[in-house]
Copies of this chain bind each other. A is one copy, B any other.
Amino acid sequence: MLLTGTGRLAPAGPSPPWAIEVRDGRIAWIGSATGAPDSEERIELGSALVTPGLVDSHTHPVFAGDRSDEAAARLEGQPYTQGGILRTVRETRAADDETLERLVEGRLRAALAAGTTTVECKSGYGLSLDEELRHLRLLARVAERVPIRVVRTFLGAHAVPPEASSMADHARRVADEMIPAVAAERLADFVDVFADEGFFDLDATERIARAAGAAGLGVRLHAEQLARTGAAELGVRLGVASVDHLEQLDGPGVAALAGSSTVATLLPGPALVLGDRLPPARALLDAGATVALASDANAGTYGGFGTMPLVIGLGATLLGMTALEALTAATAGGGAALGRETLGTLRPGAPADLVAWDAEHEGVFALRLGAVRPSRTWVGGREVWAG
């Protein structure tokens, strides 16, 4: 079974067995094996399910400390606030580079072992200029040691640090001081803002987004998680790559996204952990929006690094997607959310990022939830993992 990330190779298409030709790290050809071009090396994968490598387009891997006690307290009735993020900021600021690099490397390796070949990594547990730069620099160093594609996002507007006099004051520093410094050192591809009630308001968000655009960086937003603020429509108006979370999104918000090029990125992990409303996945798909599924692996609301197979399973069960829709959202959807047209797809010109799974049909992601494992994984045509 070969899934292309934009839909399976259907019975109406080429007949199985299928073949993929890889040249210079990219897919050169895909179709029925009988018509495959000659090749120096040939790898047989039998009846294994083969998909594009998973694209996890929303993670926060740079942090120290353990907030599992807070997760337990929330289940006993405590609310979720900025306080938790600031606890991680304290513990992360206190951790030296070596400690943080070891933690980040372990998280990226867990992702790779579970079939993720591209991972978006946010800063945002530093919040001061020096700390944010330190986190983005160490992300770059770790990315060189782990054979996974890393897309970096600057999230200086993750929360308001204790040293700031106000939300607006911190937003001004992010826009006017931090973004130019990040861009000058080419430390990030994107800027993200936690645009939600109790975090950053729409004016602050727009200010930061415009500064990002002026610096040549893409924009993505945390939106509509805790309250329906209009951050989704702001994202559409600004043409951001993706608005993420969307638990509180309503009909007009769905329509706004469906009529735009902004991707709706859904994060079932923290929605389940926080016991929140679930994002309107079915409505978004039915309206024609581009949907991505990502882990949101982070310090406080979902600790699941290396759980993209579970995230696909939660999409297919909790969020009411079909298995094929969920897998597509976790591959081509993630690629679209990162603004890379062919990433997460199997077609000529796409990067040869491939996973052969220990299963024969994509329904396995729903049937086994997390318990699906890659047998073999390739990034850019190079084999990087074998189970």
Cα–Cα distance between A301 and B369 once the two chains are bound (Å):
11
Are B360 and A66 touching (Cβ within 8 A)?
A: yes
Q: Which residues of B contact A72 (CB under 8 A)?
A: 322-324, 361-363, 366
- Tier of interface size on chain A: 35 or more
Q: Which residues of B contact A307 (CB under 8 A)?
A: 368-371
Q: Mark A349-370, 1 if CB is under 8 A from B, else 0.
A: 0000000000111111011111
Q: Which residues of B contact A324 (CB under 8 A)?
A: 72
Cα–Cα distance between A371 and B371 once the two chains are bound (Å):
11
Most interface-central of A269, A306, A371 (chain B CB within 10 A): A371
Residue A284 at the B interface, CB < 8 A?
no
Q: Which residues of B contact A317 (CB under 8 A)?
A: 75, 272-273, 275
Q: Which residues of B contact A367 (CB under 8 A)?
A: 67-68, 71, 273, 300-303
Given A75-B323, A275-B317; A369-B366 close (CB under 8 Å):
no
Given A275-B317, A310-B370; A71-B304 close (CB under 8 Å):
no
Are B76 and A322 touching (Cβ within 8 A)?
A: yes
Residue A36 at the B interface, CB < 8 A?
no
Interface of A is mostly: loop
Are B363 and A69 touching (Cβ within 8 A)?
A: yes
Cα–Cα distance between A316 and B273 once the two chains are bound (Å):
8
Cα–Cα distance between A317 and B361 once the two chains are bound (Å):
28
Residue A167 at the B interface, CB < 8 A?
no
Cα–Cα distance between A363 and B70 once the two chains are bound (Å):
7
Cα–Cα distance between A70 and B269 once the two chains are bound (Å):
25
Cα–Cα distance between A133 and B329 once the two chains are bound (Å):
45
Closest to A272 in B: B317
Cα–Cα distance between A269 and B366 once the two chains are bound (Å):
10
Q: Which of chain A's residues 60-119 have a Cβ closer than 8 Å to chain B?
A: 66-76, 110
Residue A305 at the B interface, CB < 8 A?
yes
Closest Cβ of chain B to A3, distance in Å, is 11
Closest Cβ of chain B to A212, distance in Å, is 31
Closest Cβ of chain B to A274, distance in Å, is 9
Residue A138 at the B interface, CB < 8 A?
no
Q: Which residues of B contact A68 (CB under 8 A)?
A: 359-364, 366-368
Q: Which residues of B contact A71 (CB under 8 A)?
A: 323, 363-364, 366-367
14 new A-B contacts at CB < 8 Å, known A67-B367, A72-B322: A66-B360, A68-B360, A68-B361, A68-B364, A68-B367, A72-B362, A269-B369, A273-B317, A273-B366, A307-B368, A307-B371, A310-B370, A369-B370, A370-B371
